[in-house]
Structure 1
């Protein structure tokens, strides 16, 4: 599995560690990690993370790479960054790619379509829904007008886990790879 989210620096407090707590990690990586957990219903067992600052957007990281293994034996790569300039056409992307024994499936969330590549290499394009931006705006407006959030935590819902966030923050702070295998070792 892999998940990418390359975008532009959002500006403002996001570039100041004392106000945001982190850069692209807080802005993107935790959401990417939780989305993969939601798709697979597996927890993370081990991971390695690296983070760095390449475009000098304040005192926070603007790129990172997290590689995890799950309790189900799958591995995932999570790759968020603020690497695209604001002037770049189509600057934001959000792609989820899932590899199976014989097939591959990828979802381009902002483009509103998926692609399935079967074992013979045949590609099937699968459009879905409306624009992600339009859906987010519709949900935000509904909440502002008094409606309940479209996704709510229930007793059955699994809350986000800070494991990858903590590891990546540590990685960014010490400029090193973080491996949490020994600490987690089956307790995920």
Structure 2
């Protein structure tokens, strides 16, 4: 790690305490999922704003404590839901709010990806596999884009490579307004796949269908004697998200993706695991 820091010319801190006593104002937490809770509370106690990678926490009660602790210490809590910032998703939101999409009847959603490896496949550190890793974004979009409320969830998981962690999962979600969504969250992309995966929705409406991929619009490139390549030609959603978070800190504006936004998909993911374990439909009490 020290070599990495030297190569990039950035400071290296040997401990969390050293970081939190440095003259920074914001911490970006990209640690193992199991450490999000401890690190967020430590930052809040040191009066540092917090940007947390998703999922916000592994347990809903931990997420609630994180939200409350940040509020009590007067610091902002941002949760990294970058797919909201993809240009394709921004365009979809504009079309929907203008009433041009029509009445939504069903959604076929996918959040496929490559197996991340490392701590992601250590259940003690990650808290779960493909279901937890890839449920967050599409569940968040169903709420943020359309304000849909979930009525029930049925989930099944499978593992082709591990004993205690799933690498494929399928969720069937019914919303209170009668709309149905299927969500495939599998790590099913091979290592040589041109891009990481997708965060996509095929939306069926009374006017037809529309397909949107949160990874953005891209060109597929095929060259002789070379592997297929994808060229993404829109602004990177992570960069756009972080720029927005930075602006909110500098101008003292409300967080655009709040702790409550981060809590919601954590609750849903835990209910999905409950469904997968019991093999029963879980109905939400709201």
TM bin, normalised by shorter chain, reads 0.7 to 0.9
> Kindly tell me: are residues 103 and 163 of structure 1, through their superposed partners in 2, closer, same or farther at Cα, counting changes over 3 Å?
same
User: Which whole-Å deviations, capped at 9, do the CAs of 1:126-171 have from their partners, x for residues lacking one?
Assistant: xxx924xx2303433675796579724299x795154431232234
Alignment-derived partner of residue 153 in structure 2 = 47
TM-score normalised over the length of structure 2: 0.49
Q: Does 1:180 align with 2:282?
A: yes
User: Which whole-Å deviations, capped at 9, do the CAs of 1:18-77 have from their partners, x for residues lacking one?
Assistant: 1111011221112221211222212100121101112x1573111111111111111111
- 1:139-178 correspondence to structure 2 within 5 Å: 139-140=241-242, 147=250, 151-153=256-258, 159-172=263-276, 174=277, 177-178=279-280
Alignment-derived partner of residue 126 in structure 1 = none
Residue pair 2:153, 2:272 contacting (<8 A) in 1 also: no
If each structure's helix is expressed as a fraction of its own residues, which one has the higher value?
2
- 1:9-158 correspondence to structure 2 within 5 Å: 9-54=115-160, 56=161, 59-112=164-217, 130-131=234-235, 134-140=236-242, 147=250, 151-153=256-258
Residue pair 2:137, 2:199 contacting (<8 A) in 1 also: no
CA-atom RMSD, angstroms?
A: 3.0
Residue pair 1:5, 1:92 contacting (<8 A) in 2 also: yes
| Higher Cα Rg, which structure | 2
> Kindly tell me: are residues 152 and 68 of structure 1, through their superposed partners in 2, closer, same or farther at Cα, counting changes over 3 Å?
closer
Quote how far apart the aligned CAs of 1:178 are. 2.8
> Kindly tell me: are residues 140 and 19 of structure 1, through their superposed partners in 2, closer, same or farther at Cα, counting changes over 3 Å?
same
Matched residue pairs, number? 163
Q: Equivalents in 2 of 1:98, 1:180: separation in Å?
A: 24
Q: Give unpaired runs (5+ residues) of structure 2.
A: 1-106, 219-232
If each structure's strand is expressed as a fraction of its own residues, which one has the higher value?
1
Could you say which structure has the greater relative contact order, defined with CA pairs below 8 angstroms and 6 or more residues apart? 1
